[in-house]
Structure 1
Amino acid sequence: MLRTLMIGLYCSAYFMLSACDEEPVNDVQPKEEPEVKQDSLFLNPILTSGPDPWVFQANDAYYLTFTTGYNLTLYKSDQMADLTNAYNRVVWTPPASGPNSKNIWAPEIHQVAGKWYIYYAADDGDNKNHRMFVLQNTQTDPVVGTWTDKGMLQLPDDKWAIDGTIFEANGQLYYLWSGWEGDVNGRQDIYICKMDDPLTPVGERVMLTKPELSWETNGVSPTVTEGPQVLLRNDKVFIVYSAGGCWTDGYALGLLTADIDADLMSPEAWEKSQTPVFSQYPEGNAYGPGHNGFFQSADGTEDWIIYHANPQAGQGCGSNRSIRIQPFTWDVNGDPDFGTPHPLYKKLTKPSGEY
């Protein structure tokens, strides 16, 4: 009798469950599918050829340029990790002849007081005549409108000059560049002068540093310090410069540091790092890393360095130099810590805000 009762209860339960399977409850909502996220990883290089890269952030966009040698090309993108798909435009083509007709090197785009400027080095076909030149654009977006040639930047002493950059500290504009002390190509030093406005250098030029350490004087003459770039943070001014011959694998980054309230025109205000702060990493296919710039992630939470490097040894100063980016941090003393070049074969997380 008990066995019969148990069988009956089991059968009733089975048919009740079967009925539930056949008649789903109408108010049960289907599960939401998980959101498919955009790939958050990327591989360097972001461009396979692009010596002397420089980037400026404005209008929720990145504006990037680099050495082509024969024109000024401007890239615009909202994603630094996807530069191959960025809009690009040739914004200036040099004249057929004249002082700025040949060897167009290391352009930089800057926005100062609402106007855009591109500083670039050029010559007439003879390297000893290299000087700094400047273009101006008054449009809100620099990839539209006309770039007006403002001619040669009249730097003090009128000597050989390349790799110019402008920055502001405590309300004063300054200009940095790499130049010769005299008229002979034997050594490239880092110089500074003041600016009345983005087109007008004033006063004297002052040498801040010269190639003197063993890693700065590798290769054959000339010895080189060049490509000065500026970081301002926590009442400090940092000049990150490139040193050594770009024709060597030992091309690397050095560092000068000053207090922001110091006399930045005085060489004594600057402390020089005795060792490179960023140098070759053969295991990661990074030879001769240098001539850098800086930018922040789109959401402003990360600091990034942009630089060029060769993927193989012995490739020198040519078009094999590819554009790479990677984040950097700050040490306990408030100084930048660039680490080592990130290997080409290892993926990186895209700058925050790009995924």
Structure 2
Amino acid sequence: MTSAIPNPIVLQRADPCVLRHDGRYYFTGSHPAYDRIVLRSAERLEDLQTADEAVIWERHADGPQSHLIWAPELHRVDGAWYVYYAAAPDATGRADAPGAAATFNHRVFVLENTSDDPFAPTWVERGQVDTGWESFALDATSFVHDGTQYLVWAQQDVTIRGHSNLYIAPMANPWTLAGPAVLLTRPEHDWEVAGFWVNEGPSVLVHDGRVLLTYSGAATGPEYAMGLLTASADADLLDPASWTKNADPVFVSHPEHGQYGPGHNSFTTTPDGDVVLVYHARTYTEIVGDPLWDPNRHARAQVLPFDADGNPVWGVPVPDERPVPTSTEVLDPAGLPRVPEAAPVA
């Protein structure tokens, strides 16, 4: 099986987010140094790897946005650009209550740029999103449906076993919730609790009368996989009863193609309007050292077909068509993640 899109589309960028706007693709994702938010753009998905990358924001020297900048997402709302991202005051985990799972200390933050050009140096910080309580929170995504903007994100509730659940809330503006958080899903199935009890990395696609909410679960090795919630497009999306959760993952590792731990996806489209699934995956299972600092989760993309009934046909991660770094090529002499010169992109 081959892909019409040469993969990977961007090396060493996990948690990929691709937005198509005015005929161009805009890309962001987690930089492996976790110290900045980057942006690149191209007319074709396959040109994103060689596109110039701009740093639009850097971590603070200290305080709540000084460590582990994770999973930025770029969105266009009411003529302005927004980036949702997670940041922490330190790089250590903690347990917020006796018996609770240890987590990091992230919260969700927002940047705004009212320029037509997201590369314009006019990004401003809109601060932390008040989700209703203080605990580990990350992976915010946003979508507008029937005139209402929604935020979906992952957060820990210390009264629920696990590291993170998924919540939804309406928004008064792109950095302020207009109502309380509504719990949509918590880790409960065997595949969601492999290594870590996690529901994270949500992404939303409205298609053919349905709202598809994908997410990722488990630890970040080969067990990492994508799950699915589905609601009718005319349902009350703030009612948990409107959503149906698949018991099994919909997108998993595929050893035959050398792809492991696919997840933390986003959606975009081809120029012809076909849906494209964007995600990250590794090409090996043996990770040297702390997996957090292994940079070789590469951004990938493939067309997502639908059957005659409008159901997505998820398929499997397609094989690579471009060279990628190996597990022994991950660090430069200073100990920082790098893209090896020996791995050019065709």
Place the TM-score, normalised by the shorter chain, in its bin: 0.7 to 0.9
Aligned partners of 1:334, 1:288: CA distance in 2, in Å? 26
Q: 1:151 aligns with which of 98, 118, 127?
A: 127
Query: Structure 1: which amino acid aligns with 2:21?
Result: A
**8 Å contact 1:156–1:202 — kept in the other structure?**
no
> Which residue of 259, 272, 296 maps to 1:299?
272
In structure 2, distance between residues paired with 1:212 and 1:185: 9
Aligned counterpart, 2:18: 55
Identity %: 39
2:338 aligned partner: none
Instruction: Tell me by how many angstroms 1:321 deviates.
Output: 0.6
Structure 1 counterpart SS, 2:112 = strand
Distance 1:41 1:264 in 2: 34
Output the amino acid matched with 2:185: T
SS of 1:344's partner is coil
Structure 2 unaligned segments of length 5 or more: list them: 94-103, 324-346
Structure 1 match to 2:42: 77
Q: CA deviation at 1:42?
A: 5.6
User: CA separation in 1, counterparts of 2:5 and 2:137?
Assistant: 36
Question: Are the counterparts in 2 of residues 331 and 337 from structure 1 also a CA contact under 8 Å?
Answer: yes
Structure 1 residue ranges (4+ consecutive) displaced by more than 6 angstroms after TM superposition: none
Kept in 2, the 8 Å contact 1:164–1:176? The answer is: yes
Give the 3 Å change call, closer, same or farther, for CA 262–42 of structure 1 in structure 2.
closer
Instruction: Tell me, yes or no, if the aligned pair for 1:76 and 1:143 is still in contact at 8 Å.
Output: no
2:194 matches 1:194: no
SS at match of 2:64: coil
What is the TM-score when the length of structure 2 is the normalising length? Answer: 0.84
Partner amino acid for 1:167? F
Equivalent residue runs for 1:62-211 within 5 Å: 62-68=25-31, 69-125=34-90, 126-127=92-93, 128-182=104-158, 186-211=162-187
2:242 equivalent in structure 1? 269
Which one has a larger percent helix, Structure 1 or Structure 2? 1
Q: Provide the rounded CA distance (Å) in 2 between the counterparts of 1:257 and 1:163.
A: 19
Q: Deviations over 1:140-191 (max 9, x none)?
A: 0101231111111111223321000111121111110011013898331111
Question: Considering only aligned residues, what root-mean-square deviation do their CA atoms show, in Å?
Answer: 1.9
Counterpart of 1:93 in structure 2: which amino acid?
E
Aligned partner of residue 215 in structure 1, secondary structure = helix
Q: Partner of 2:203 in structure 1? A: 229
Aligned partner letter, 1:62: Y
The change in CA–CA distance for 1:41 and 1:189 in structure 2 (over 3 A counts) is closer
Please state if 1:313 is matched with 2:285. yes
Q: Verify the 8 A CA contact 1:156 1:203 in the aligned structure 2.
A: no
CA distance in 1, matches of 2:4, 2:210: 33
Could you say which structure has the larger radius of gyration? Answer: 1
